[in-house]
Amino acid sequence: MLFLLSTILSLGIYIRFKICLNSYSLTLNNIKFFLINSQAYSFASLLPGQIGIDAWRIGRLRKYDKSKYKTKLIKATILEKVFALLSQVFILIYFILNDLLIKILFIIIFILIIYLIILLINKISYKLKPIQKYITKISVKDFSKIIFASIICNFISCYLIYAIANSLNMEYSFNVLSLSSTLSNMSSVIPITPNGLGLSEFIFSEITENISDIENVKAVSTIYFTYRILNLTSHFGIYYIIKILGRIIKNNGFLQENN
């Protein structure tokens, strides 16, 4: 169950980036795309922050970007980072709020604010020449897909953390773990350790201990470390499954040509 949730989360992150690429008319074979992403989140995750992940994807996908300075890939990467951060802020505030009516009001206000930001970006992007090649018009349709995918991924991430805690017999509330895990995920982009290793666990542990009403606090960092191992395992698993699938398709194509 845990590995399945982790795999769904990994695929969701890949799909989110694919939506960002599609918004800039960058399309490629699905097998190739998922293979590159699984490589980036497994092999390249050893570099500090998420620099290795982004560099790997841009490096492997550069031939699909015909623009002079590969600006479409850079735009897609920036777009993903911005919306990933916005969705994390959304999750953070959502779980801080307690009243259901206030939560619904917050969701409406959040959507309106994001749409206003999109309209503002679309209005000023053509006037700011120094950054014009990195910022371009964002369609409302693409925005809706990206923000929805980002929020869904974050909810799955929170639930996976909660499920891990339950499997380790640590009875923390879903709200507490969602707040802790969201802040920990945000800290993973800081380029200090590989993918935030150690730093994220420390933040997760400290926040959980401070906001939890459980008196005898256990080694809560184990929860986030288990979460990290599961994610890494799912990325490697997807990579090897796609490699096998690619070989099967290639061999079948070869056999059909010979027949």
Output the average pLDDT for the chain: 82
For residue 41, what are the domain limits? 2-258
CA atoms within 13 A on the CB side of 248: 7
> Would you place residue 259 in the very low, low, confident or very high pLDDT band (cuts 50, 70, 90)?
very low
- Count: domains in the chain: 1
Q: Which pTM does this prediction carry? A: 0.84
Does 133 have pLDDT greater than 90? no
Please determine, for residue 18, whether its predicted confidence score (pLDDT) is greater than 60.
yes
Residue pair 8/229 in contact by the 8 Å Cβ criterion: no
Residue 3 has pLDDT above 70, yes or no: yes
For residues 191-208, give the mean pLDDT. Answer: 80
Instruction: List helix spans (H) across the chain.
Output: 2-22, 30-42, 51-61, 71-96, 100-124, 129-132, 140-167, 174-187, 199-211, 221-258
Instruction: Tell me the C-alpha distance between 17 and 237, whole Å.
Output: 19
